[in-house]
Every structure is written in C-alpha cells, then in structure tokens.
Structure 1
Amino acid sequence: MALPAKLKNFNIFVDGITMIGVAQEMTLPKLTQKLIAYRGGGMMAAVNVELGFDDGALDMDMSVGGLMVDLLKKMGTSTADGMQLRFVGAYQDDSDALYKSCTIQTRGRFTEVDWGTAKVGEDTTHKYTLKNTYVKITVDGEVVLEVDALNMIWVVGGEDKMAALRKAMGM
C-alpha cells in the first residue's frame, strides 16, 4: 500500500532569521509554464509551444501571526533577488512512517504587506507577498527543480533544460 507524504510541520527562514512560532501559513510557488498555441499551414491541430514560465509563476505568500518589524524592514529591498527565503517542510508517509525533508529556497523581494484588519481582542495576521527570481526545490538532499530567471537556468531532475540555449547564445 502506498500513501502520499503529508506535511507534518515546517519552518521558514528569511535571510537566515527563523520564523518558527511566528509563520502561520505559506502559499508555495505555483510553477506554471507559458505556452502559446501555434497552428501553421498543413497542421491538423494546434501545438502548444513552450516559452518559459508564466509571469508570477515563482510568486509566494507568507502569513505571520502579527507584527514583525524585521520583515517590515525588508520591504525596501533594492534588488530583484535581494532577499532569501527558505521553507523547510517535514513530510511523513503514513504507510512507512518515514519523513522526507523538502526545502524550497527562493530569492526575491516583498512587493506587498497586507496587515488585514486590526481589532482589539482578535487574532492578527499579516500577509507578505514575494516576487521571486529564483526557486530551488530539494527533497532529501536531491535538487528536484531549480529556476533562476536572472541567469537563464532551469534544472529539472538534474537536467539543465537551458544549457543548449545558453550555448547557442554564446553564454
């Protein structure tokens, strides 16, 4: 019998600062490719041609349990890859009780801070939106996926899908 590994707990680090006990929720990147339909003469159907990743494909959201001055200070990050975030999740397979470690490392910057509502006696959650230029997903030490938009790198399962393109461009 096989069961999927489910997230049992996680931690987030922003520029090396732990968010344990503070981070409540993370919306992980929705890795979507940009495709266009192409149908030339003599073709019976359109073919979707791959053009990289969709705008926003590397974006993430992070919710924390209230006021975090250190995070607010990162709102002014000057470069597109100036802030590093690392999500470390412990996923457990209930069929064998073994844990898998999944790390998602990103580089980018906050583009939005949503403080939600403020009401005395109620819980507060602040949501931070990240626009990333880099995402690397590692499971149990194996790099499964790496996307570096600034350096034209796209590695999937150890295969550098952009190596031939960089070579053709003299890079």
Structure 2
Amino acid sequence: MGLPRKLKNLNGFVDGESFLGVIAEFEEPNLALATEDWRGGGMLGPVKVDLGLEAMEAKLKMGGHTASLIRKFGTSEVDGLRVRLVGAYQSDDGRPPEAVECFIGGRFSEIAPGTSKAGDDTEHEYTVPLSYYRRVVNGRTEIEIDMIAGRFIVDGFDRYAEIMAIVGG
C-alpha cells in the first residue's frame, strides 16, 4: 500500500529568525531549463537546445504584519536574504515522516500586504527572486542551484561542472 506524503507542519527562518507560528505558506521555485528551438539542415523538426536555467522565484506568506521582514525590503544584494524552510512530510501508512528543507538566497522584490480589515484574517506575501536554491530530504541534498557560482547539482552530479572548468569557474 502506498499513500502520498503530505505536509504535516512547517517552519521558516529568515536570516536566522524563526517564524514558527507565523509562517502560513511557502511556494517553492519552479525549476525549468532555458531552451531554444533548433532545426539544422537534414533534421525532420526542431529540438529544444539547453541554454541553462530559467530564473527562479519563491514566495512566502506570513500571517499578518511582520516588521522584521518589511525592514529587509530593498537590499542591494541579489543574495542579501537567506531563508531556510523546514517541512515535515508524512503519509498515513505508518512510514516515519520525512524532513524536507529548502534553503534559498535572494531578496524581496515585492511585498503584498493584501487587505486589512478589523476582525478578518490578514496575510502578507513576500516574493523572492532567487540566486540560490537547495532542497535537502532527510539530510541528503537532492538539488542545488547557485546561479552566481555556476553550480547545478542534481543527485550529487554537477551538471554544469565541465562548462565551468572550461570558463575558469
């Protein structure tokens, strides 16, 4: 029997500060290759040629006003903000929970405070374009992308190492 692992609980840390009880939601970045169609002479049709990676973006939702996060808006560094998100995923088939950690580096490009009405729930959403992303499951790094350093590691294999060796990285 197999049942899917579902998120049972989570916490977020921004520059080391815990947001346990405050973080409402985290949207991981989509991972996408940047590609371009190429059809050379003699080919029956185009193929997608790998040109690197698309830009990555994550989102955080916090339950209400969080002054310490608003104060981080406008940093001039592309990796001026460090976020660690920890989730416990568990299926209801008796298997133990899995620890899933996401480490991201970027900066807030947008803060959406939404609407505020006395007595109603409020959430602030923070958009983070990423220069760094790492996903770790039970202590094992599954994927690590460092846009600035030119690292693209999947399951322990750096898919970009040979190119970085040629260009001096």
* TM-score (norm: length of structure 2): 0.96
- Per-residue deviation at 1:53? 1.4
* Residues 12-64 of structure 1 deviation map (CA, whole Å, 9 limit, x = unaligned): 10001011110111111111111111111000121111111113xx2111111
* CA displacement 1:71-98 (0-9 Å, x = unmatched): 0111022200011001101011322331
Paired with 1:99 and 1:40, the residues of 2 have a C-alpha distance of 50
**SS of aligned partner of 2:142:** strand
Aligned residue in 2 for 1:46: 46
2:107 to 106, 109, 124: 109
Aligned mate of 1:161, from 159, 164, 167:
159
Unaligned stretches of 5+ in structure 2? none
Paired residues for 1:1-171 under 5 Å = 1-55=1-55, 58-171=56-169
How far apart, in 1, do the equivalents of 2:168 and 2:131 lie?
Answer: 22
Q: What's the secondary structure of 2:144's corresponding residue? A: strand
CA distance in 2, matches of 1:93, 1:126: 30
Identical-residue share of aligned pairs (%): 38
CA distance in 2, matches of 1:121, 1:5: 34
Aligned residues: 169
In 1, distance between residues paired with 2:59 and 2:41? 44
Q: Amino acid of the residue matched to residue 106 of structure 2? A: G
**Which segment drifts farther, 154-163 or 88-97?**
88-97
Which one-letter code corresponds to 2:36 in the other structure?
A: I
Runs of 4 or more off by more than 2 Å in structure 1? 93-97
Letter in 1 for 2:127: T
Q: Following TM superposition, by how much is the alpha carbon of 1:143 offset from its aligned partner in structure 2, in angstroms?
A: 0.5
SS of equivalent residue, structure 2 residue 82? strand
Q: Aligned partners of 1:5, 1:118: CA distance in 2, in Å?
A: 34
AA partner of residue 39 (structure 1): R
Q: Give structure 1 stretches of 5+ with no counterpart.
A: none
